């Protein structure tokens, strides 16, 4: 494959609070980077999420945890645009910025199935598929929607061929099963708040940051 072809490969976008980032996130990102032949996977920690409670760890701490977690992995790129942006972080705004920067590159937004099932509650959700493809990663216990607007969307835009993500700039939905590690950021915070050690659930440099900052220490009045 020549350099021109490499430069035309899709850019993956993996956003989230990463509060904290853990091995489940990293394995999912690694498998998608390889199996979809992405040119890169951008990790974009959310600044101020509008759809949920604020993260416990400060944005700067979460950014640093992602930075050390992905260090040394070719194709993994840290993108701090949402942390730098003032106000609420909306995915559609991030995608518009990336589309302006990369007008001729396919963009692939990575979602868990649970996030996909809540897509219609997102700001300007219908515009997202004009800006990027959706790559929906399977999670245990979740089923594809059987009816409603998301079911219709899957029927119209769904594909089982990863090559379709390379052939167009945006607009397709690709559901991809990844190795499932039963780790959640919520569960990790509970473990740490209870005074237990998250070793072997997060990368060691992330564990060190958690210990040094006390970002998930139990709060007292």
State the maximum Cα–Cα separation within the chain, in Å, rounded to a whole number.
Answer: 60
Identify the band that residue 87 occupies on the pLDDT scale cut at 50, 70 and 90.
Answer: confident
Mean pLDDT of 107-113: 95
C-beta of residue 76 within 8 angstroms of C-beta of residue 70? yes
User: Phi and psi (nearest 5°) for 104?
Assistant: -115, 15
pLDDT tens digits, 132-186? 999 999 866 667 788 899 999 999 999 999 999 999 999 999 999 998 888 999 9
Q: Where are the alpha helices (DSSP H) in 71-138?
A: 81-84, 91-101, 113-117, 125-131
Of 40, 109, 113, the residue nearest 78 (C-alpha): 40
**Can you tell me the mean pLDDT for 19-42?**
97
Q: Give the whole-angstrom CA distance, residue 163 versus residue 168.
A: 9
User: Residues 201-212: pLDDT tens digits?
Assistant: 999 999 999 999
Q: Token digits for 6?
A: 């490499």
């Amino acid at each position: 494959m020549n350099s021109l072809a490499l430069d035309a490969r899709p850019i993956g976008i993996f956003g989230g609070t990463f509060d904290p980032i853990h091995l489940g996130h990293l394995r999912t990102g690694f498998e998608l980077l390889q199996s979809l032949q992405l040119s890169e996977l951008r990790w974009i920690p959310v600044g101020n999420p509008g759809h949920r409670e604020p993260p416990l760890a400060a944005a700067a701490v979460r950014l640093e945890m992602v930075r050390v977690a992905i260090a040394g992995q070719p194709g993994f790129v840290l993108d701090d645009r949402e942390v730098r942006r003032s106000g609420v972080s909306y995915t559609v705004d991030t995608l518009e910025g990336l589309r302006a920067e990369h007008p001729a590159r396919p963009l692939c937004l990575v979602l868990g199935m649970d996030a996909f099932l809540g897509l219609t509650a997102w700001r300007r959700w219908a515009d997202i598929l004009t800006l990027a493809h959706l790559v929906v990663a399977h999670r245990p216990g979740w089923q594809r929607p059987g009816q409603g607007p998301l079911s219709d969307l899957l029927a119209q835009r769904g594909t089982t061929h990863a090559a379709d993500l390379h052939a167009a700039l945006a607009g397709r939905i690709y559901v991809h099963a990844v190795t499932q590690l039963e780790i959640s950021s919520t569960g990790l915070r509970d473990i740490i708040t209870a005074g237990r050690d998250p070793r072997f659930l997060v990368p060691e440099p992330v564990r060190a940051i958690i210990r040094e900052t006390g970002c998930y220490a139990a709060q007292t009045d």
